A and B are shown apart, each in its own frame.
Chain A
């Protein structure tokens, strides 16, 4: 593989890793409102996947574990960090938070708090691209646990029968919260989706070449054929379900870290050791400074809630209320 490309992948994946680790430190200090579902282990796959997309016409939707995807789509990292910290400079002024990152302007339509909730809307983004003739595709990323939700089977079927350009990504990290994928899923992902007549490939995220090829082929296939496809990506979950979780149920498991695999791959492909170190340290510095910069900003408060309360108010006769009704 081209070493320049490998270097880019490495920088971005390392950036996401450092970004999340820095946020995890903030979380430990009690500075993050919600629980952080880190994508530790999935960065390399997500970076390579998103490198095949065109943020001017494609849209990605993701799960609760989507910090990495938003960043891989080049969403401004300070805005992402500020959103996760619940601050006014965040993507949605801190309204959404860690599980609700919305950045359609950079091709990341939405992440989601509901397991599987992000999937049907991807069919809509694909329909939109198709009807409007943008040439875009939708990519929806969800876990092995989500794979069993009815909404996902329904959407796959819908996308197949309506010929919608959706790429479904099953990020199989072997676990849904504390439950093993092998326990929760009958049969196999690939068999199930192939039975719908949908093209499907399985790839191990530690096989960098294969990830590069499969994501390239499948995105192109969806784009050119205007019909759905599935990638089952084996990615490790290198931490707990969320940061700070009691992971005792995991027992001891040792899984290779794709970020290290990518580093070795870059080295073996001819990138010099000091170049690699330089990439990694630049990534760390950039990530740290984005998170630090975000953390210095301010939270939104009552006036933003007042604005939303007025916008969504159930009462169309607010004037009368002000004239002497008793609203609280």
Chain B
């Protein structure tokens, strides 16, 4: 088991999948980079380097740099998916979903349904999410719950290199459009990759959560970059005598309710920490579902910790005030759950 970065794990998966299946194509802005520039022999490989080396290896027939036209190339992806290809489309930041929202929520999300399953839509939209790097209001949002609220879209938020690789592999194989959300703050995170005896990446099913750690006193639910914050908080809370169980659902839709209920059945307490919306976001969805389906297990009211209901601010102190952090998780857990 070699350690690999989150970004490299994704890159490796794209390479492996494309080598194994000629119907996989990649498209998006600056995917290869340098398109149309004379004597540009350096491949950018996407603004975060995730698609590095793909154009050189598989050719520009399968690895396409597009104009800055999200509506057109997301729509192109869905059309290609409906007619025999397996496109992996990159939308640089999920904030740009605003530009191609029709193609996502009307066209891609509904085609399989409207065809009564005569059409499969093996489309992956890779995108980035998350704040913390001063990118401001339109390059920092966490829109996982927004897209998850649209029936027909699957939504994945990996938190480790192994999960990123395994979930991307499954997403590419999926017959439903999958929104694959990569937290920008995680690209440099290193960890082991899970491979089988033949060195193939082990796929991870959509809808299967993961126990990040076991505990008895409080269930902490977190995805993406919040998993690390939850872990740090759990370390501190352990010293204070509160043993947290951390669950990373890994996919927002479908959601692994089983693992959530199982955990809450053991702890009786729930704190969901999420970087998304304070209202009608992922945290609210989990709290609501647990309240409905596991009410009898709860010893106290479930709590959510999210950013305030504001856009993402720019200045460093403002952004720090905005984002949930391990300190805020500790404070919130102690305030609500210490007897």
- A115→B99 CA distance, assembly (Å): 9
Residue B208 interfacial (CB < 8 Å): no
Residue A100 interfacial (CB < 8 Å): yes
Pairwise interchain contact A145-B138, C-beta atoms closer than 8 A: no
* Chain A, interface residues (CB within 8 Å), range: 35 or more
Pairwise interchain contact B316-A299, C-beta atoms closer than 8 A: yes
Per-residue B-contact encoding for A284-328, CB less than 8 Å = 1, 0 else = 000000000000000111101110110011100000000000101
- A86→B317 CA distance, assembly (Å): 8
Pairwise interchain contact A179-B30, C-beta atoms closer than 8 A: yes
Pairwise interchain contact A114-B95, C-beta atoms closer than 8 A: yes
Contact partners of B72 in chain A: CB under 8 A:
150
Residue B67 interfacial (CB < 8 Å): yes
A102 vs chain B, min Cβ distance (A): 11
- A252→B109 CA distance, assembly (Å): 44
- A34→B29 CA distance, assembly (Å): 21
- Tell me the interface secondary structure of chain A in the complex: loop
Pairwise interchain contact B315-A98, C-beta atoms closer than 8 A: no
Contact partners of A252 in chain B: CB under 8 A:
39
Residue in B41, B44, B306 whose Cβ sees the most chain A Cβ within 10 Å: B44
Pairwise interchain contact B315-A145, C-beta atoms closer than 8 A: no
Known A-B contacts A182-B36, A183-B35; A113 and B136 likewise in contact (beta carbons under 8 Å): yes
- A180→B98 CA distance, assembly (Å): 24
Contact partners of B336 in chain A: CB under 8 A:
326, 328
Known A-B contacts A33-B314, A34-B314, A328-B303; A116 and B99 likewise in contact (beta carbons under 8 Å): yes
Contact partners of B310 in chain A: CB under 8 A:
305, 308-309, 312
- A313→B308 CA distance, assembly (Å): 8
Q: Given A87-B315, A146-B68, A251-B38, list of 18 further CB < 8 A pairs?
A: A96-B314, A98-B314, A149-B68, A178-B35, A180-B37, A184-B36, A185-B67, A249-B34, A249-B37, A299-B316, A299-B317, A301-B320, A304-B313, A304-B318, A305-B308, A305-B321, A312-B309, A313-B309
- Residues in A lying within 8 Å of B, measured CB to CB: 32-35, 86-87, 90, 93-100, 112-117, 145-146, 148-151, 175-185, 246, 248-252, 299-302, 304-306, 308-309, 312-314, 326, 328
Q: Which of B307-339 contact A (CB under 8 A)?
A: 308-310, 313-322, 332, 336
Closest 6 CB pairs of A and B: A183-B36, A33-B134, A97-B314, A86-B315, A180-B36, A113-B138
A180 vs chain B, min Cβ distance (A): 3
Tell which of A34, A96, A97, A179 touches B65, judged by Cβ atoms closer than 8 Å. Answer: A179
Residue B23 interfacial (CB < 8 Å): no
- A146→B99 CA distance, assembly (Å): 12
What is the total number of residues of chain B having a CB less than 8 Å from a CB of chain A? 55
Per-residue A-contact encoding for B92-116, CB less than 8 Å = 1, 0 else = 0001101100000000000000000
- A90→B316 CA distance, assembly (Å): 13
Contact partners of A94 in chain B: CB under 8 A:
313-315, 318
Pairwise interchain contact A314-B134, C-beta atoms closer than 8 A: no
Pairwise interchain contact B315-A300, C-beta atoms closer than 8 A: yes
Residue in B38, B39, B315 whose Cβ sees the most chain A Cβ within 10 Å: B315
Tell which of A33, A96, A249, A308 touches B42, judged by Cβ atoms closer than 8 Å. Answer: A249
- Residues in B lying within 8 Å of A, measured CB to CB: 29-30, 33-44, 47, 65-69, 71-72, 95-96, 98-99, 133-139, 278-279, 301, 303-306, 308-310, 313-322, 332, 336
**24 A–B contacts, CB within 8 A, in A order:** A33-B315, A86-B318, A96-B314, A97-B136, A115-B68, A145-B67, A176-B68, A179-B29, A179-B65, A180-B37, A249-B40, A250-B34, A251-B38, A300-B315, A302-B321, A304-B313, A305-B308, A305-B318, A312-B308, A312-B309, A314-B278, A314-B309, A328-B303, A328-B332
Contact partners of A150 in chain B: CB under 8 A:
69, 71-72, 99
- A270→B98 CA distance, assembly (Å): 52
Contact partners of A250 in chain B: CB under 8 A:
34, 37, 40
Contact partners of A177 in chain B: CB under 8 A:
29-30, 33, 47
Contact partners of A182 in chain B: CB under 8 A:
36
- A169→B332 CA distance, assembly (Å): 50
Pairwise interchain contact B318-A301, C-beta atoms closer than 8 A: yes
Pairwise interchain contact A99-B136, C-beta atoms closer than 8 A: yes
- A73→B203 CA distance, assembly (Å): 55
Known A-B contacts A180-B35, A249-B33, A251-B40; A97 and B67 likewise in contact (beta carbons under 8 Å): no
